[in-house]
Structure 1
């Protein structure tokens, strides 16, 4: 099994990287590999609503979004991470995720998802909710922990001083490993639920 970690921080060695490293170590203890992908320091434009991906299965802007789609397809779990900017996620990671989830047309049903947020002081819960929105609409179970998955600090080293935050991330990773294994076992024994999605209440004819 493997987990794709999407780091939306512009600092590749910042607080989100530290939190993802903690999660990665915990997953490794359970035999699960994890790859961290840094997107927050790249020039990624937002979706322009051209809907070209509806016919091609790829975003019209051929950048890291299209390159990431095969990694998302191969992953059993996904961890999204972002720092808090004015009580919102990093704009770059939002542009990346909106284009990725909209354009890839992958069946993400029962892939497991989790979000990690970092902040110096506050804004974390609002951002945590926004990041988790990508999972529910995609049929992805969201991983719980013993608190919201956020760490506090101004520098990467500060994260380790947030003992409750570190514990929360470790518990999230443990739960993620458990859910991934349970879903794999359930799929082998019973198959996945049949969840048709043929009806759209948007009045498009």
Structure 2
């Protein structure tokens, strides 16, 4: 069975971001694809300290202790796809989600592109504005990792304020459902051709500001 790991960057386990993720998950599950949600936003994830240990050790781990990042990395590595979900804070993703993504994707890159050729998508919930910027921020992690990205029939942004209000955004709900359908299709297409995926080229060296 194929599997998608969904990352909920919201501090609210049952907030609007969780509802948006579930809309996509419903469509994936209809196609027999398992979805596991990892709650990130309610945990204390610190940012990358640019120590470079993950690149030196090559053990697929971040050396920072005290959170579940390394467990999440392995779950994403074993999954067929990833769905990133975040609320909008000051016209971008929230800080905890940024810290999680910076560290997880740096470890993945430094250890042979662990997330390469998976199917990746992002979805955003916002009260008023900043949704496009937040969506682009998350998409850049997916693009950098050489993931295959499904689209919907509009930007993957749902509007709402209080928990559950995004479900009243009829167009947003429809966009999320189309994203789920297209993600399922792409997952199946990639899975069918996984033996024919191209090998990677030598990767560009990634340097963090010291």
TM range (shorter): over 0.9
Secondary structure in structure 2 of the residue aligned to 1:116: strand
Deviates more, 1:160-169 or 1:52-61: 52-61
For residues 102 and 81 of structure 1, do their structure 2 counterparts lie closer, same or farther at Cα, with a shift above 3 Å needed? same
CA separation in 2, counterparts of 1:201 and 1:163? Answer: 41
Q: CA RMSD in A?
A: 1.4
CA separation in 2, counterparts of 1:102 and 1:180? Answer: 24
**1:192 corresponds to:** 197
2:83 to 79, 82, 86: 79
- Structure 1 unaligned blocks of 5 or more: none
Structure 2 length normalisation: TM-score? 0.91
Deviation by residue 1:74-113 (Cα, 9 ceiling, x = unmatched): 1101000111111011000100011011114243221011
Structure 1 length normalisation: TM-score? 0.93
CA separation in 1, counterparts of 2:36 and 2:16? Answer: 17
**2:29 corresponds to:** 28
Matched, 1:150 2:153: no
For residues 176 and 48 of structure 1, do their structure 2 counterparts lie closer, same or farther at Cα, with a shift above 3 Å needed? same
- Structure 2 unaligned blocks of 5 or more: none
**2:14 corresponds to:** 13
Structure 1 runs (4+) deviating above 3 angstroms are 198-202
CA separation in 2, counterparts of 1:177 and 1:197? Answer: 30
For residues 155 and 139 of structure 1, do their structure 2 counterparts lie closer, same or farther at Cα, with a shift above 3 Å needed? same
Secondary structure in structure 2 of the residue aligned to 1:148: coil
